[in-house]
Protein backbone atom coordinates (compact mmCIF):
# COMPACT_ATOMS: atom_id res chain seq x y z
CA UNK A 1 0.00 0.00 0.00
CA UNK A 2 1.03 3.58 -0.58
CA UNK A 3 0.63 4.78 2.98
CA UNK A 4 0.52 8.39 4.19
CA UNK A 5 4.27 8.85 3.98
CA UNK A 6 4.12 9.61 0.23
CA UNK A 7 0.89 11.62 0.17
CA UNK A 8 1.57 14.96 -1.53
CA UNK A 9 -1.74 16.69 -0.80
CA UNK A 10 -0.23 19.03 1.78
CA UNK A 11 3.51 18.81 1.22
CA UNK A 12 3.77 19.59 -2.48
CA UNK A 13 1.34 22.57 -2.46
CA UNK A 14 3.03 24.02 0.63
CA UNK A 15 6.48 23.79 -0.94
CA UNK A 16 5.34 25.25 -4.27
CA UNK A 17 3.27 28.10 -2.81
CA UNK A 18 6.03 29.08 -0.37
CA UNK A 19 8.56 28.92 -3.20
CA UNK A 20 6.39 31.06 -5.47
CA UNK A 21 5.71 33.70 -2.84
CA UNK A 22 9.42 33.85 -2.03
CA UNK A 23 10.47 34.05 -5.67
CA UNK A 24 7.96 36.77 -6.58
CA UNK A 25 9.07 38.81 -3.55
CA UNK A 26 12.71 38.46 -4.59
CA UNK A 27 11.85 39.36 -8.19
CA UNK A 28 9.99 42.45 -6.99
CA UNK A 29 12.90 43.53 -4.82
CA UNK A 30 15.89 42.68 -6.99
CA UNK A 31 14.98 42.02 -10.66
CA UNK A 32 14.57 44.68 -13.32
CA UNK A 33 14.91 44.86 -17.12
CA UNK A 34 18.26 45.13 -18.81
CA UNK A 35 18.87 48.06 -21.12
CA UNK A 36 17.73 46.12 -24.20
CA UNK A 37 14.32 45.39 -22.64
CA UNK A 38 13.77 48.70 -20.83
CA UNK A 39 11.53 51.20 -22.63
CA UNK A 40 13.27 54.15 -20.94
CA UNK A 41 16.45 53.51 -22.92
CA UNK A 42 14.77 53.47 -26.34
CA UNK A 43 14.90 56.68 -28.36
CA UNK A 44 15.03 57.90 -31.94
CA UNK A 45 18.62 56.69 -32.27
CA UNK A 46 17.73 53.16 -31.15
CA UNK A 47 17.40 50.65 -33.97
CA UNK A 48 14.80 48.04 -32.94
CA UNK A 49 16.20 45.35 -35.21
CA UNK A 50 19.57 45.65 -33.44
CA UNK A 51 17.96 44.67 -30.14
CA UNK A 52 19.66 41.71 -28.48
CA UNK A 53 16.44 39.70 -28.62
CA UNK A 54 16.98 39.05 -32.34
CA UNK A 55 20.47 37.70 -31.65
CA UNK A 56 19.68 35.63 -28.55
CA UNK A 57 16.08 34.49 -28.92
CA UNK A 58 16.64 31.90 -31.71
CA UNK A 59 19.22 30.12 -29.54
CA UNK A 60 16.93 30.43 -26.51
CA UNK A 61 14.05 28.70 -28.31
CA UNK A 62 16.33 25.87 -29.43
CA UNK A 63 17.52 25.31 -25.86
CA UNK A 64 13.87 25.37 -24.73
CA UNK A 65 13.25 22.41 -27.04
CA UNK A 66 16.22 20.56 -25.53
CA UNK A 67 15.09 21.21 -21.94
CA UNK A 68 11.37 20.53 -22.16
CA UNK A 69 10.97 18.19 -25.14
CA UNK A 70 14.39 16.54 -25.45
CA UNK A 71 14.96 15.69 -21.80
CA UNK A 72 11.24 15.18 -21.15
CA UNK A 73 10.74 12.54 -23.82
CA UNK A 74 14.13 10.94 -23.17
CA UNK A 75 13.20 10.36 -19.52
CA UNK A 76 9.99 8.53 -20.47
CA UNK A 77 11.69 5.23 -21.30
CA UNK A 78 10.35 3.24 -18.31
CA UNK A 79 7.03 1.78 -19.46
CA UNK A 80 5.20 2.52 -16.20
CA UNK A 81 6.93 5.84 -15.53
CA UNK A 82 6.14 7.93 -18.59
CA UNK A 83 4.18 10.52 -16.61
CA UNK A 84 6.96 10.76 -14.03
CA UNK A 85 9.72 11.13 -16.59
CA UNK A 86 8.01 13.87 -18.60
CA UNK A 87 5.98 15.69 -15.93
CA UNK A 88 8.62 15.77 -13.22
CA UNK A 89 11.04 17.03 -15.89
CA UNK A 90 8.61 19.88 -16.63
CA UNK A 91 8.12 20.69 -12.95
CA UNK A 92 11.82 20.56 -12.08
CA UNK A 93 12.84 22.55 -15.16
CA UNK A 94 10.33 25.36 -14.58
CA UNK A 95 11.41 25.71 -10.94
CA UNK A 96 15.12 25.48 -11.74
CA UNK A 97 14.96 28.25 -14.34
CA UNK A 98 13.03 30.60 -12.03
CA UNK A 99 15.51 29.96 -9.23
CA UNK A 100 18.58 30.21 -11.46
CA UNK A 101 17.51 33.62 -12.76
CA UNK A 102 17.94 34.87 -9.20
CA UNK A 103 21.00 32.92 -8.12
CA UNK A 104 23.01 33.21 -11.32
CA UNK A 105 21.76 36.74 -11.78
CA UNK A 106 23.28 37.74 -8.46
CA UNK A 107 26.72 36.52 -9.55
CA UNK A 108 26.69 37.47 -13.23
CA UNK A 109 24.05 40.06 -14.08
CA UNK A 110 23.73 42.29 -11.03
CA UNK A 111 24.83 45.90 -10.64
CA UNK A 112 23.44 48.90 -8.78
CA UNK A 113 21.68 46.48 -6.44
CA UNK A 114 19.54 44.91 -9.18
CA UNK A 115 19.61 41.85 -11.41
CA UNK A 116 19.18 43.10 -14.97
CA UNK A 117 17.05 40.61 -16.90
CA UNK A 118 17.25 39.91 -20.62
CA UNK A 119 17.00 36.89 -22.88
CA UNK A 120 20.70 36.14 -22.31
CA UNK A 121 19.89 35.60 -18.60
CA UNK A 122 17.32 33.00 -19.62
CA UNK A 123 19.93 31.15 -21.68
CA UNK A 124 22.30 31.02 -18.70
CA UNK A 125 19.43 29.93 -16.45
CA UNK A 126 18.53 27.15 -18.86
CA UNK A 127 22.11 25.90 -18.74
CA UNK A 128 21.77 25.71 -14.95
CA UNK A 129 18.49 23.90 -15.49
CA UNK A 130 20.22 21.43 -17.84
CA UNK A 131 22.69 20.70 -15.03
CA UNK A 132 19.81 19.80 -12.70
CA UNK A 133 18.08 17.64 -15.31
CA UNK A 134 21.25 15.70 -16.11
CA UNK A 135 21.66 14.99 -12.39
CA UNK A 136 17.95 14.03 -12.26
CA UNK A 137 18.77 11.24 -14.71
CA UNK A 138 20.83 9.42 -12.09
CA UNK A 139 17.86 9.14 -9.70
CA UNK A 140 15.05 8.80 -12.26
CA UNK A 141 12.16 6.75 -10.95
CA UNK A 142 13.54 6.56 -7.40
CA UNK A 143 12.59 10.00 -6.12
CA UNK A 144 9.47 12.00 -5.33
CA UNK A 145 8.71 15.38 -6.90
CA UNK A 146 9.50 17.00 -3.55
CA UNK A 147 12.93 15.41 -3.53
CA UNK A 148 13.58 16.66 -7.07
CA UNK A 149 12.53 20.20 -6.21
CA UNK A 150 14.75 20.23 -3.12
CA UNK A 151 17.62 18.84 -5.21
CA UNK A 152 17.14 21.72 -7.67
CA UNK A 153 16.89 24.20 -4.79
CA UNK A 154 20.30 23.07 -3.50
CA UNK A 155 22.08 22.24 -6.75
CA UNK A 156 21.49 25.56 -8.52
CA UNK A 157 23.35 27.64 -5.88
CA UNK A 158 26.23 25.14 -5.71
CA UNK A 159 26.47 25.24 -9.50
CA UNK A 160 26.21 29.04 -9.69
CA UNK A 161 28.96 29.55 -7.08
CA UNK A 162 31.20 26.98 -8.80
CA UNK A 163 30.60 28.57 -12.20
CA UNK A 164 31.31 32.05 -10.85
CA UNK A 165 34.46 30.99 -9.01
CA UNK A 166 35.90 28.99 -11.92
CA UNK A 167 35.22 31.72 -14.47
CA UNK A 168 36.33 34.58 -12.23
CA UNK A 169 39.45 33.09 -10.67
CA UNK A 170 40.60 30.26 -12.93
CA UNK A 171 39.38 32.01 -16.11
CA UNK A 172 38.97 28.99 -18.35
CA UNK A 173 37.68 28.32 -21.86
CA UNK A 174 34.57 26.12 -21.75
CA UNK A 175 32.18 27.31 -24.45
CA UNK A 176 30.38 23.97 -24.79
CA UNK A 177 30.11 23.44 -21.03
CA UNK A 178 32.08 20.21 -20.79
CA UNK A 179 33.47 21.19 -17.39
CA UNK A 180 30.82 23.44 -15.88
CA UNK A 181 27.75 21.63 -17.23
CA UNK A 182 28.47 18.00 -18.08
CA UNK A 183 31.11 17.14 -15.46
CA UNK A 184 29.43 19.14 -12.71
CA UNK A 185 26.00 17.65 -13.40
CA UNK A 186 27.35 14.12 -13.69
CA UNK A 187 29.31 14.01 -10.46
CA UNK A 188 26.67 15.91 -8.50
CA UNK A 189 24.10 13.35 -9.65
CA UNK A 190 26.40 10.44 -8.82
CA UNK A 191 26.96 11.91 -5.34
CA UNK A 192 23.20 12.06 -4.78
CA UNK A 193 22.53 8.52 -6.02
CA UNK A 194 25.44 7.20 -3.92
CA UNK A 195 23.69 8.41 -0.76
CA UNK A 196 20.24 7.29 -1.96
CA UNK A 197 21.55 3.80 -2.72
CA UNK A 198 18.87 1.07 -2.68
CA UNK A 199 20.50 -2.38 -2.38
CA UNK A 200 17.40 -4.24 -3.55
CA UNK A 201 17.46 -2.43 -6.91
CA UNK A 202 20.73 -4.15 -7.76
CA UNK A 203 18.82 -7.41 -7.80
CA UNK A 204 16.57 -6.09 -10.56
CA UNK A 205 13.15 -4.46 -10.36
CA UNK A 206 10.01 -5.75 -12.03
CA UNK A 207 9.06 -2.25 -13.18
CA UNK A 208 12.52 -1.07 -14.28
CA UNK A 209 11.92 -2.05 -17.89
CA UNK A 210 10.66 -0.53 -21.10
CA UNK A 211 7.94 -1.12 -23.66
CA UNK A 212 7.80 -0.66 -27.39
CA UNK A 213 5.82 2.58 -26.96
CA UNK A 214 8.01 4.01 -24.18
CA UNK A 215 11.17 3.33 -26.17
CA UNK A 216 9.73 5.14 -29.19
CA UNK A 217 8.81 8.15 -27.02
CA UNK A 218 12.30 8.18 -25.52
CA UNK A 219 13.81 7.96 -28.99
CA UNK A 220 11.83 11.06 -29.99
CA UNK A 221 13.59 12.85 -27.11
CA UNK A 222 16.93 11.70 -28.52
CA UNK A 223 16.02 13.16 -31.91
CA UNK A 224 15.10 16.52 -30.37
CA UNK A 225 18.40 16.60 -28.50
CA UNK A 226 20.33 15.54 -31.61
CA UNK A 227 18.81 18.20 -33.84
CA UNK A 228 19.14 21.11 -31.41
CA UNK A 229 22.46 20.26 -29.75
CA UNK A 230 24.46 22.56 -32.09
CA UNK A 231 22.53 25.50 -30.64
CA UNK A 232 23.27 24.32 -27.10
CA UNK A 233 27.00 24.13 -27.77
CA UNK A 234 27.27 27.37 -29.74
CA UNK A 235 24.88 29.74 -27.95
CA UNK A 236 27.54 31.34 -25.69
CA UNK A 237 30.43 31.37 -28.15
CA UNK A 238 31.63 34.59 -29.75
CA UNK A 239 29.43 35.52 -32.67
CA UNK A 240 30.93 35.08 -36.13
CA UNK A 241 33.51 32.49 -37.05
CA UNK A 242 33.64 31.05 -33.50
CA UNK A 243 29.94 30.25 -33.47
CA UNK A 244 30.17 29.00 -37.03
CA UNK A 245 32.87 26.49 -36.07
CA UNK A 246 30.94 25.43 -32.98
CA UNK A 247 27.90 24.51 -35.06
CA UNK A 248 30.03 22.62 -37.60
CA UNK A 249 32.00 20.71 -34.97
CA UNK A 250 28.89 19.72 -33.03
CA UNK A 251 27.12 18.41 -36.09
CA UNK A 252 30.19 16.47 -37.23
CA UNK A 253 30.73 15.01 -33.75
CA UNK A 254 27.09 13.93 -33.47
CA UNK A 255 27.17 12.38 -36.93
CA UNK A 256 30.31 10.41 -36.10
CA UNK A 257 28.96 9.16 -32.77
CA UNK A 258 25.72 8.09 -34.45
CA UNK A 259 27.39 5.87 -37.02
CA UNK A 260 29.77 4.47 -34.42
CA UNK A 261 26.86 3.74 -32.07
CA UNK A 262 25.09 1.61 -34.68
CA UNK A 263 28.28 -0.30 -35.45
CA UNK A 264 29.13 -0.98 -31.81
CA UNK A 265 25.54 -1.82 -30.85
CA UNK A 266 25.36 -4.59 -33.43
CA UNK A 267 28.90 -5.79 -32.70
CA UNK A 268 28.45 -6.04 -28.93
CA UNK A 269 25.04 -7.72 -29.11
CA UNK A 270 25.46 -11.51 -29.04
CA UNK A 271 22.67 -11.83 -31.62
CA UNK A 272 24.11 -9.13 -33.83
CA UNK A 273 21.04 -6.93 -33.34
CA UNK A 274 20.72 -3.21 -32.58
CA UNK A 275 19.86 -2.34 -28.97
CA UNK A 276 17.50 0.63 -28.84
CA UNK A 277 18.93 1.99 -25.56
CA UNK A 278 22.25 2.44 -27.35
CA UNK A 279 20.57 4.59 -29.98
CA UNK A 280 18.71 6.60 -27.34
CA UNK A 281 21.89 7.60 -25.49
CA UNK A 282 25.16 6.74 -27.18
CA UNK A 283 24.35 8.56 -30.41
CA UNK A 284 24.50 11.84 -28.45
CA UNK A 285 28.02 11.31 -27.13
CA UNK A 286 29.69 13.33 -29.90
CA UNK A 287 27.83 16.46 -28.85
CA UNK A 288 29.44 16.28 -25.42
CA UNK A 289 32.91 15.21 -26.58
CA UNK A 290 33.47 18.27 -28.79
CA UNK A 291 32.18 20.68 -26.13
CA UNK A 292 35.43 21.93 -24.56
CA UNK A 293 37.05 22.66 -27.92
CA UNK A 294 33.89 23.37 -29.90
CA UNK A 295 34.85 26.92 -30.95
CA UNK A 296 38.56 26.23 -31.46
CA UNK A 297 40.47 25.49 -34.67
CA UNK A 298 40.60 21.75 -34.07
CA UNK A 299 39.79 20.79 -37.71
CA UNK A 300 36.69 18.87 -38.87
CA UNK A 301 38.65 15.61 -38.84
CA UNK A 302 39.43 16.03 -35.13
CA UNK A 303 35.74 16.73 -34.41
CA UNK A 304 34.87 13.49 -36.21
CA UNK A 305 37.50 11.54 -34.26
CA UNK A 306 36.22 13.01 -30.98
CA UNK A 307 32.70 11.88 -31.87
CA UNK A 308 33.92 8.34 -32.43
CA UNK A 309 35.99 8.31 -29.23
CA UNK A 310 33.16 9.68 -27.13
CA UNK A 311 30.73 7.16 -28.53
CA UNK A 312 33.09 4.26 -27.86
CA UNK A 313 33.69 5.36 -24.25
CA UNK A 314 29.96 5.86 -23.68
CA UNK A 315 29.07 2.47 -25.16
CA UNK A 316 31.70 0.54 -23.20
CA UNK A 317 30.78 2.40 -20.04
CA UNK A 318 27.15 1.47 -20.50
CA UNK A 319 27.89 -2.20 -21.13
CA UNK A 320 30.56 -2.81 -18.51
CA UNK A 321 31.25 0.12 -16.18
CA UNK A 322 27.71 0.97 -15.03
CA UNK A 323 26.95 -2.53 -13.67
CA UNK A 324 30.35 -2.56 -11.93
CA UNK A 325 29.71 0.81 -10.25
CA UNK A 326 26.28 -0.32 -9.08
CA UNK A 327 27.55 -3.57 -7.59
CA UNK A 328 30.82 -2.39 -6.07
CA UNK A 329 30.49 1.37 -5.43
CA UNK A 330 26.78 1.92 -4.57
CA UNK A 331 26.25 4.08 -7.64
CA UNK A 332 22.91 3.23 -9.28
CA UNK A 333 22.92 5.47 -12.34
CA UNK A 334 19.49 4.97 -13.91
CA UNK A 335 20.10 6.95 -17.13
CA UNK A 336 23.82 6.30 -17.48
CA UNK A 337 24.79 9.93 -16.97
CA UNK A 338 28.33 8.86 -16.08
CA UNK A 339 28.73 7.37 -19.55
CA UNK A 340 27.11 10.14 -21.59
CA UNK A 341 28.28 13.15 -19.56
CA UNK A 342 31.14 11.98 -17.30
CA UNK A 343 33.37 9.81 -19.47
CA UNK A 344 32.74 11.88 -22.60
CA UNK A 345 33.17 15.08 -20.59
CA UNK A 346 36.62 13.96 -19.46
CA UNK A 347 37.60 13.12 -23.04
CA UNK A 348 36.31 16.52 -24.12
CA UNK A 349 38.34 18.29 -21.44
CA UNK A 350 41.50 16.44 -22.48
CA UNK A 351 40.89 17.42 -26.11
CA UNK A 352 40.31 21.03 -25.10
CA UNK A 353 43.56 21.13 -23.18
CA UNK A 354 45.43 19.73 -26.19
CA UNK A 355 43.79 22.33 -28.44
CA UNK A 356 44.83 25.11 -26.05
CA UNK A 357 48.44 23.88 -25.99
CA UNK A 358 48.60 23.87 -29.80
CA UNK A 359 46.90 27.25 -30.32
CA UNK A 360 49.16 29.95 -31.75
CA UNK A 361 48.98 33.04 -33.94
CA UNK A 362 49.88 31.10 -37.05
CA UNK A 363 46.73 29.01 -36.64
CA UNK A 364 44.34 31.70 -35.40
CA UNK A 365 45.80 35.02 -36.48
CA UNK A 366 45.08 38.00 -34.20
CA UNK A 367 41.74 36.45 -33.19
CA UNK A 368 43.75 34.07 -30.96
CA UNK A 369 43.44 36.74 -28.27
CA UNK A 370 39.68 36.97 -28.66
CA UNK A 371 39.03 33.23 -28.38
CA UNK A 372 41.62 32.82 -25.61
CA UNK A 373 41.02 36.23 -24.06
CA UNK A 374 43.21 35.54 -21.02
CA UNK A 375 46.21 35.07 -23.29
CA UNK A 376 45.88 38.64 -24.57
CA UNK A 377 48.68 41.02 -23.52
CA UNK A 378 48.28 42.88 -20.26
CA UNK A 379 47.42 46.57 -20.04
CA UNK A 380 50.37 48.71 -21.13
CA UNK A 381 52.00 46.05 -23.29
CA UNK A 382 52.90 47.60 -26.70
CA UNK A 383 51.65 44.45 -28.40
CA UNK A 384 48.18 45.08 -27.02
CA UNK A 385 47.96 48.41 -28.84
CA UNK A 386 48.96 46.78 -32.13
CA UNK A 387 46.36 44.06 -31.67
CA UNK A 388 43.66 46.60 -30.85
CA UNK A 389 44.28 48.25 -34.21
CA UNK A 390 43.59 44.90 -35.89
CA UNK A 391 40.74 43.94 -33.54
CA UNK A 392 38.91 47.05 -32.28
CA UNK A 393 37.50 46.52 -28.82
CA UNK A 394 40.02 43.84 -27.79
CA UNK A 395 40.32 43.93 -24.00
CA UNK A 396 43.58 43.55 -22.05
CA UNK A 397 44.19 39.99 -20.89
CA UNK A 398 46.43 38.29 -18.36
CA UNK A 399 49.31 37.55 -20.71
CA UNK A 400 49.07 33.81 -20.06
CA UNK A 401 51.05 31.33 -22.10
CA UNK A 402 49.37 28.33 -23.68
CA UNK A 403 50.85 26.08 -21.00
CA UNK A 404 49.58 28.29 -18.19
CA UNK A 405 46.09 28.35 -19.67
CA UNK A 406 46.13 24.56 -19.99
CA UNK A 407 47.11 24.17 -16.34
CA UNK A 408 44.17 26.34 -15.27
CA UNK A 409 41.90 24.10 -17.34
CA UNK A 410 43.22 21.06 -15.46
CA UNK A 411 42.63 22.82 -12.14
CA UNK A 412 39.06 23.63 -13.19
CA UNK A 413 38.36 19.97 -14.03
CA UNK A 414 39.50 18.63 -10.67
CA UNK A 415 37.95 21.42 -8.60
CA UNK A 416 34.62 21.09 -10.40
CA UNK A 417 34.51 17.33 -9.90
CA UNK A 418 35.42 17.70 -6.22
CA UNK A 419 32.89 20.43 -5.43
CA UNK A 420 30.07 18.80 -7.38
CA UNK A 421 30.63 15.38 -5.80
CA UNK A 422 30.68 16.85 -2.29
CA UNK A 423 27.60 18.95 -3.07
CA UNK A 424 25.79 15.90 -4.39
CA UNK A 425 26.62 13.79 -1.33
CA UNK A 426 25.41 16.49 1.07
CA UNK A 427 22.27 16.99 -1.01
CA UNK A 428 21.64 13.25 -0.93
CA UNK A 429 21.57 13.29 2.88
CA UNK A 430 18.97 16.08 2.79
CA UNK A 431 16.86 14.12 0.29
CA UNK A 432 16.73 11.15 2.68
CA UNK A 433 14.43 13.12 5.02
CA UNK A 434 11.15 11.17 5.27
CA UNK A 435 9.06 14.36 4.92
CA UNK A 436 10.16 14.57 1.27
CA UNK A 437 8.07 11.48 0.49
CA UNK A 438 10.65 9.13 -1.04
CA UNK A 439 8.97 6.16 -2.73
CA UNK A 440 9.46 2.70 -1.33
CA UNK A 441 11.36 0.16 -3.41
CA UNK A 442 8.06 -1.44 -4.48
CA UNK A 443 6.77 1.82 -5.99
CA UNK A 444 9.95 2.90 -7.76
CA UNK A 445 9.52 3.37 -11.53
CA UNK A 446 5.73 3.45 -11.12
CA UNK A 447 3.44 6.38 -11.93
CA UNK A 448 0.53 5.25 -9.77
CA UNK A 449 2.25 6.42 -6.59
CA UNK A 450 2.11 10.12 -7.49
CA UNK A 451 -0.38 10.33 -10.38
CA UNK A 452 -3.99 9.57 -11.15
CA UNK A 453 -3.36 7.00 -13.86
CA UNK A 454 -5.82 5.56 -16.40
CA UNK A 455 -7.04 2.01 -15.75
CA UNK A 456 -5.01 0.60 -18.64
CA UNK A 457 -1.73 2.35 -17.84
CA UNK A 458 -0.06 -0.98 -17.13
CA UNK A 459 -1.79 -2.92 -19.90
CA UNK A 460 1.45 -3.58 -21.84
CA UNK A 461 2.77 -5.38 -18.75
CA UNK A 462 -0.40 -7.49 -18.47
CA UNK A 463 -0.32 -8.34 -22.16
CA UNK A 464 3.29 -9.44 -21.90
CA UNK A 465 2.45 -11.66 -18.93
CA UNK A 466 -0.38 -13.27 -20.88
CA UNK A 467 1.91 -13.83 -23.82
CA UNK A 468 4.56 -15.36 -21.57
CA UNK A 469 2.09 -17.75 -19.94
CA UNK A 470 0.67 -18.76 -23.32
CA UNK A 471 4.16 -19.53 -24.56
pTM: 0.94
User: Which of the residues in the chain have pLDDT under 50?
Assistant: 1, 463-471
**pLDDT number for residue 45:** 81
**pLDDT number for residue 427:** 98
d(CA 173, CA 374): 9
Cβ-contact 119, 53 below 8 angstroms = yes
d(CA 463, CA 471): 12
**pLDDT number for residue 258:** 98
Domains of the chain: 18-36+50-358+401-439 (1.10.3430.10)
**pLDDT number for residue 458:** 83
**pLDDT number for residue 384:** 94
Tell me how long the chain is.
471
110 - beta bridge partners? 115
The CA R_g of the chain, rounded to the nearest whole Å, is 23
Strand order in the sheet with 31-33: 31-33, 114-117, 110-111
Cβ-contact 63, 234 below 8 angstroms = no
Cβ-contact 351, 409 below 8 angstroms = no
Cβ-contact 194, 425 below 8 angstroms = yes
Amino acid sequence: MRGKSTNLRIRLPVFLFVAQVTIVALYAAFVTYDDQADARFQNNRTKPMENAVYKDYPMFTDIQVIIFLGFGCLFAFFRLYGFGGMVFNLLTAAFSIQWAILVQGYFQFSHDGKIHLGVINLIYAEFACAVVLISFGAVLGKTSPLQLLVMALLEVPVFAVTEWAVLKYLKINDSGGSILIHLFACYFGLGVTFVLYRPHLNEGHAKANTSYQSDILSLIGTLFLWVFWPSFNSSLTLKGDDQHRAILHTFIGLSASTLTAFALSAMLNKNGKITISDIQNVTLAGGVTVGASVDMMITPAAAYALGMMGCTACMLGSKYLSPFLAQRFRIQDQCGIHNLHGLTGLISCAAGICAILMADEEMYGPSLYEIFSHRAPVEGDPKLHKLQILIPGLQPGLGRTAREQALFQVAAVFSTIGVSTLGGILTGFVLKLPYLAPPSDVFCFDDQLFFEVPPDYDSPLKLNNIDDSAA
